């Protein structure tokens, strides 16, 4: 049991380190192709969330629509589905207020 807990704590630490790397990576400026990909992800997510709702749509659904692996979405949205949803809905709300 001790080994299992130790392995779990190492896994948790490594996962924490990986998430930290993704968060730091987020602060890097995007290239034009990266910005275009980011926009494609947002457009697709916005459409799917609007059609099906937040609870039903998965990152795999969004990635499948775009034609990429779902893990690639974490490059643009390191915190996952919630961050993607917030950014997509915020962008939509700004469009309505203009």
**What are the pLDDT digits (tens) for 48-87?**
999 999 999 999 999 999 999 999 999 999 999 999 999 9
Which whole-number Å values give the CA distances from 3 to 29, 74, 83, in the listed order?
42, 31, 35
Looking at the fold, whether 69 and 87 belong to one and the same domain comes out as yes
Looking at the fold, whether 19 and 36 belong to one and the same domain comes out as no
Looking at the fold, whether 13 and 43 belong to one and the same domain comes out as no
Q: What's the pTM value of the predicted model, to 2 decimals?
A: 0.64
The closest of 86, 84, 82 to 73, measured between CA atoms, is 84
**What are the pLDDT digits (tens) for 39-49?**
999 999 999 99
């Amino acid at each position: 049991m001790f080994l299992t807990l130790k392995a779990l704590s190492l896994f948790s630490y490594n996962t924490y380190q990986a998430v930290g790397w993704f968060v730091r990576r987020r602060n890097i400026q995007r290239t034009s192709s990266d910005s275009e990909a980011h926009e494609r992800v947002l457009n697709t997510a916005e459409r799917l969330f609007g059609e099906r709702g937040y609870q039903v749509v998965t990152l795999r659904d969004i990635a499948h629509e775009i034609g990429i692996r779902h893990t690639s979405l974490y490059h643009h949205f390191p915190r996952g589905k919630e961050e993607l949803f917030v950014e997509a809905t915020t962008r939509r709300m700004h469009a309505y207020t203009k």
